[in-house]
Structure 1
Amino acid sequence: MTELSWAQVSARRLQRHRLGTPAADAAPDAGRVADVVSTICGAHAQIASAAELSIGLRAPGATRALVRRALWTDRTLVKTRGPRGTVHLLAAADLPMWVGALTALPAPSWERSVVLLTARQTEQVLAAIADAVAEADLTTAELTEEIVARTGPWAGDLVMEAFQDMWPRWVAAMTTATRRGVICFGPNRGRASTYTSPTRWLPDFAPMPGPAALAALVRSYLYAYGPATPAQFARWLAVAPGWATLLFNSLDLTEVTVEGSRAWVAADDTEFPDDRPSGLRLLPYFDAYAVGCHPRERLFPGAAAERALAGGQAGNYPVLLVDGVVAGVWHQRRSGRSIRVTVEPLRTLDAARQRELAEEVERVGEILEGKASLTIGTVSVGPHA
């Protein structure tokens, strides 16, 4: 059995996540943006600027405008719900795999359509959604009107509690609609979200068969985050660990040990670098590397666990990454084109590290199309909700 050091694992993950030393003067490339997103299994996009920064940091020369072009003009990215049911930017070319895999997952415990909608009503709503968004980008209010017109007044009953408000009954089927690839996000209309059909991105869109899709998803996950255990995969995808163990056992995987702990990689992907992890990066809220990499105690060592995790959950703080591990937190505040970046290191940065940090802050400004300035001090902002 292959025995690996944490340094080898960390170096490979940094390499796979394109978080090594940035290439100098690389020309912007919209195709590279989709490739980056595919490689990291999606970029968390509940906060749009965080997704743009996550992608831009990994695609030399990229800016938020290039990410937006890839999403809304070139349509090489698609905004939908991915792992854990959270909003992600996914590579459009990967959508058949994602929909096939998500549809094949056991129903999540938080699925509410079984309570508010019968199976027949759910299918009626899904058909109505598909018909309504086939040729249009619709807001929630517009979609409600279209669904009620196609199904009946019951679909619009305000029975679903949410954020001190009441939503119409049909919204209970939204998760299922997204998981099955019936709907995805369209461009915002002012401050209002819109929804549309994935066939706008892939005209011949069809989900991959479930078993093949799950196998492909595990392989993609292990490429980016491996070696990993079924329990870690289950946490990343928000499924039961026992189910994930059965899935791992059904696939062609290779067991390795990481400093005595068992983990798995794809059978034909067992190469690891001998060099040590290196470099300094500023990762935004919910960055894929911080959220997806395990074990937590390795990635968030010592004081980093207390300062940069929120109840054990990663992603709620933007983090300073030094040599592949979390070594501080940071925050940015924007006013016009001015971006004030405050970094709170958890260890002393020597002169070389401070130069790297200044360069990274400058890059953050370039990606977000502003002018960034650096302050080293205490970050007073609490965790993102």
Structure 2
Amino acid sequence: MELRTVLRHRLATQRVTGPPLPTAADVVRLLTCVQAQEREHACFSLALRSRATTLEEVRAELDSGAFVRTHILRPTWHFVAAEDLRWLLDLTSPRVERVVALQLRRSSLDERHVGRALEVLADALGGRNFLTRKEIGDRFAAAGLPGSGQDLGNLVMVAELRGLVCSGPIRGVQHTYALVDEVVAPTPARTREEALAELARRFFGGHGPSSIRDLTRWASLTVTDARAALAEVGNGLERVDVDGVPHWYDPALVAELPERQAAPVPRRAHLFPTYDEAVLTYPAVNFPPPQGSEPPAPDQWVGTVVVDDHRVGTWKRAVGRNAVTVESRLAGSLDDEQRGLVDEATERLGHFHGLPVRHLAARS
């Protein structure tokens, strides 16, 4: 399969160019987990793919518990649908917790400290008493546990990985924590084999065409587990080779690709936020620079500008009281039409924040 076709399949499957999904939570379900340590950037990722097009709408769904923010899949924040939380934690947390355990041991913290932290959290958060990290740190310090810094974060992360706590409603700009059993309804348990197969089906369905390497990085799985999972669901997927590497996707989820319809594919620009699934998921096969031009290299701390099927630059934003300022650094080869498309993409960001946009574009 040609790279251009692969990229267009992905954008349509993820609903960046395909019909938007009804809610932000539907996007989280499609993608299974959405990396979200930069919370508002991750909310914009959901808005790009759904009819919840503003930060206010996306945050309302998060606050309602339709999806939660927690440490899952890898030792970083993700959005995950409430009904998927428990089985994904059961499947992927043991490998992640081993990484966190090494960090705890460097601070002379062991399972006794973890056990005490879990007790304090259960008591402090009980009765839907949602607390911020600082408030939890105060409770920990009173109990003789680390009350700040990385040690506090690692102890709370273990509580997330073990399914005790997840996000509660946002308070102002602060993330709060809640007891999982108080905000997430019970769900049936899955065997490990069932969970592996479901994870592979969902990943290749929501992120395809993608490779085994993409899956193992995204889900912290071993190659052996990933191959076993793919073998369970392979009959429902279609395989294509990209530069000699097998990739899989669900053909049913690309049925509405614009190129399969009579109308021509419209030109569009996309401001993909930091850690967006359309960019971060694919370390090997990704958006190329435009021919004859080399935009700034991808940077995990800034967003990626894509026009049509090419990576044409980077962007970052500052949200002020009266406007959103977008600073972009774009490839010098962009023509006037393409620059106009980037301007249109910045307007979507302004709509998301409910503010006018100042776009400061520089040529690389």
TM range (shorter): 0.7 to 0.9
* Cα distance change, pair 229–21 in 1 and its aligned pair in 2 (3 A): closer
Structure 2: distance between partners of 1:189 and 1:359: 32
**Residue 324 of structure 2 is aligned to residue 328 of structure 1:** no
Given residue 202 of structure 2, which amino acid in structure 1 is its aligned partner? S
- Normalising by structure 1, report the TM-score: 0.77
Correspondent of 1:129 among 107, 121, 128: 121
Mapped contact 2:293–2:333 kept (Cα < 8 A):
no
How many residue pairs match? The answer is 353
Mapped contact 2:36–2:77 kept (Cα < 8 A):
yes
Q: CA deviation at 1:195?
A: 1.6
Structure 1: distance between partners of 2:266 and 2:278: 14
Mapped contact 1:133–1:197 kept (Cα < 8 A):
yes
- Number of the residue aligned with 1:68: 59
- Number of the residue aligned with 2:345: 360
Spell out, residue by residue over 1:284-318, the C-alpha distance to the aligned partner (whole angstroms, 9 max, x if none): 1111111113424x4244798872324xxxx3221
**Residue 104 of structure 2 is aligned to residue 93 of structure 1:** no
* Cα distance change, pair 172–50 in 1 and its aligned pair in 2 (3 A): closer
Where does structure 2 lack aligned partners over 5 or more consecutive residues?
none
Structure 2: distance between partners of 1:193 and 1:326: 33
Q: CA deviation at 1:263?
A: 2.2
SS in 2 for 1:328: strand
Mapped contact 1:13–1:226 kept (Cα < 8 A):
yes
Mapped contact 1:332–1:342 kept (Cα < 8 A):
yes
Structure 1: distance between partners of 2:99 and 2:158: 13
**Residue 45 of structure 2 is aligned to residue 54 of structure 1:** yes
Q: CA deviation at 1:106?
A: 6.6
Structure 1: distance between partners of 2:48 and 2:340: 17
- Normalising by structure 2, report the TM-score: 0.81
Mapped contact 2:34–2:79 kept (Cα < 8 A):
yes
- Number of the residue aligned with 1:281: 270
**Residue 363 of structure 2 is aligned to residue 375 of structure 1:** no
SS in 2 for 1:377: strand
Where does structure 1 lack aligned partners over 5 or more consecutive residues?
24-28, 380-385
Map 1:143-158; keep pairs closer than 5 Å: 143=136, 153=144, 156=145
Task: Name which structure has the greater RCO, CA cutoff 8 Å, separation 6+.
Answer: 1
Given residue 292 of structure 1, which amino acid in structure 2 is its aligned partner? T
Given residue 345 of structure 2, which amino acid in structure 1 is its aligned partner? E
Spell out, residue by residue over 1:265-295, the C-alpha distance to the aligned partner (whole angstroms, 9 max, x if none): 3687696756579532111111111111342
Given residue 348 of structure 2, which amino acid in structure 1 is its aligned partner? R
Given residue 227 of structure 1, which amino acid in structure 2 is its aligned partner? P
Q: CA deviation at 1:239?
A: 4.4
- Number of the residue aligned with 1:382: none
* Cα distance change, pair 278–259 in 1 and its aligned pair in 2 (3 A): farther
SS in 2 for 1:320: strand
Given residue 50 of structure 1, which amino acid in structure 2 is its aligned partner? H
Structure 1: distance between partners of 2:17 and 2:135: 45
Structure 2: distance between partners of 1:144 and 1:207: 32
Q: Give RMSD over aligned pairs.
A: 3.5
Mapped contact 1:318–1:330 kept (Cα < 8 A):
yes
Identical pairs, percent: 22
Spell out, residue by residue over 1:48-84, the C-alpha distance to the aligned partner (whole angstroms, 9 max, x if none): 2212211112124510000111011x32121111332
